[in-house]
Amino acid sequence: MIPATAKQWRVQERPINRSFRETDLRLVEEPLKPVGANEVMLRACYFAFDPAQKGWMENAANYVAPINVGDVMRSRGIGRVVQSNSSKLKVGDLVRGDLFMADYFTLPMDGPTPANVEKVDTTVPLLTNLSILSNTGIAAYFGLMDVGRPTAGDTVVISGAAGATGSLAGQIAKINGCRVIGIAGGAAKCAWIAELGFDHAIDYTTGDIAKRLRDVCPNGINVFFDNVGGGILDIALAQIAPRARVVLCGGISRYSSTVTTGPLNYFNLIYNHGRMEGFLTRDYLPQWPEAKRRLSTWIKEGRIKSREDVQEGFENLPRTFMRLFEGKNIGKQILRVSDPELA
């Protein structure tokens, strides 16, 4: 039963030069647009959150279409097709991809800007479609493999190691034969990454990170996979090994504060011939199928695991997004808004 109105989270204010606030998104209810030619209507089942979405709201990220104040905010997620005027999808199909933050919404399947959605992979647990087999997994895969270029025996250090991307990058580094050290906040997160097979977990909320890092990396850091930025990046730069690779995957510390300084120790890249390199997952678009194939194989072989932090209820969307910046999530931050079996 499709309702007459849709609930939508629209951008109320851009979080520029400050932290995200729950009031930056505003809940509105509007008549549901009828399904046009070559369009489908979806009911949202799950939304998956990424710190980069704050950048989308700021319009700071040149790699996504602009989002204006007043627009319905976008999010990756899983939805079920409830009406279809497209030959590409039929009613009942469960799809993953770029959705709108609304309980019901229509998507164009054709024309100049067709929606970026595809049927979910049903050979793996459903929510891995939003973690390992999503942008998150793709970021971990190419960030580590192509930018980090680990070789067996390397010491790989990962910040934000209990996050969706970090936890996966660490497991892929283990498959590559590396020693892996994760930095995460709190005992629960550290216990989880130990369970995933990380060689060491450093809890950044207690004691001297630099000293503990030196203790477990006596020969320096070969690959530093950074999801955090700020002070952690500086500490790692001070301990890089010759020819180290610093992978810039993200910077959660930048998202939750006003940034006033860059990495002071970047000069250590000179003394060690270090390389610091950023990337976006879209840079690897032609290689995504191969990456997904490998990731999917590793899931089925039990060599990589994901964990999802699933919150409930469409009304809790801004609060759930906020958890990322509060460091509350272990694994992928997800919001369940309807039952995928019943949608």
Site residues (vs a second copy, CB under 8 A): 61-63, 229, 234, 248-251, 254, 259-280, 283
Shortest Å, Cβ 244 to a second copy? 10
Q: How far apart are CA 225 and CA 253, in angstroms?
A: 14
In terms of DSSP H, where are the helices of 163-258?
Answer: 164-175, 187-195, 209-216, 230-237, 252-255
Shortest Å, Cβ 274 to a second copy? 6
Shortest Å, Cβ 237 to a second copy? 9
266 vs 288, beta carbon nearer a second copy: 266
Q: How far apart are CA 294 and CA 161, in angstroms?
A: 21
Shortest Å, Cβ 140 to a second copy? 15
202 vs 249, beta carbon nearer a second copy: 249
Q: How far apart are CA 343 and CA 338, in angstroms?
A: 6
122 vs 261, beta carbon nearer a second copy: 261
Shortest Å, Cβ 131 to a second copy? 21
Shortest Å, Cβ 79 to a second copy? 28
Reading the block at residue 183, the tokens are: 């930095």
63 vs 65, beta carbon nearer a second copy: 63
CA-CA-CA-CA torsion sign (251, 256, 262, 264): negative
DSSP 3-state of 106: strand
Question: Is residue 78 a contact partner of residue 34, using CB atoms and an 8 Å limit?
Answer: no
Q: How far apart are CA 333 and CA 175, in angstroms?
A: 25
244 vs 324, beta carbon nearer a second copy: 244
4 vs 270, beta carbon nearer a second copy: 270
104 vs 255, beta carbon nearer a second copy: 255
Residue with tokens 């940034």: 259
Shortest Å, Cβ 257 to a second copy? 13
Residue type, 250: G
DSSP 3-state of 320: helix
What contacts 102, CB < 8 A, 6 or more positions away? 6, 7, 8, 9, 44, 72
How does DSSP classify residue 131? T
